[in-house]
Copies of this chain bind each other. A is one copy, B any other.
Amino acid sequence: MTVFVDRTSLGRGEPLGTAALAQLFTEARTHNHFRDLPVPDRLLRQALDLAKMGPTAVNQQSLRALFLRSDQAKERLRPALMAGNVEKTMAAPVVAIMGHDVEFYKHLPFLLPHADAGSWFAGDPDFAARSAAQNGTLQVAYFILALRAVGLDAGPMSGFDSPKVEQEFFPDGKIKANVIINIGYGEDAKLYPRSPRLSFEEMATIL
């Protein structure tokens, strides 16, 4: 696919090169099958440390992650997966349960010291839950692109029973399960053809 590169803007405003855009967006794919290669903890940490730099409302960073690496941990997830997602998930080198903390606001005195933003949420659990979901979801996407940025491949999915996952892994009720991501080095040979995309005009208007 053609990638347009702009070299005319000033200062910092340079685009990434075509290879970086390909790794993040244009050639990256959702993977269901992974090569038999280890995924070091160091790369999971690096990807999360990159993702947490992305913007969230009032710097709330509501994302919480459980990385399932052992067979024992993955077996705890099995009963919550949709049938079509079981085999590929059990075989993935690492499985990340991405959730969000509906009591994220308890960290705001540290995360946003110059404002009393915690009080906006502490008395309004519905608002807190909505904001945690919205911003935790932004952070899931930052994390998917951060995995790609450190050279890994991701297989995100929403086909699972969230209450079952929460009961098993987050029994105190404060963390909601949002997206599960299989992580490893993808098997390109097992990819399906890329599905189509909407046109700019179907998605957007300039006023």
* Copies held by the complex: 2
B111 touches A196 (CB 8 A): yes
Interface range on chain A (Cβ under 8 Å from partner): 35 or more
Per-residue B-contact encoding for A23-55, CB less than 8 Å = 1, 0 else: 111101010000101001111111011111111
Question: Smallest Cβ distance from A153 to chain B, in angstroms?
Answer: 8
With an 8 A cutoff between CB atoms, is A125 at the interface?
Answer: no
Report the Cα distance A136→B25, complex, angstroms. 16
Majority-rule SS of A interface residues: mixed
A112 touches B9 (CB 8 A): no
Nearest first, the 10 A-B pairs at minimum CB distance are A141-B141, A73-B207, A13-B151, A65-B204, A137-B137, A138-B141, A25-B50, A67-B206, A25-B53, A59-B195
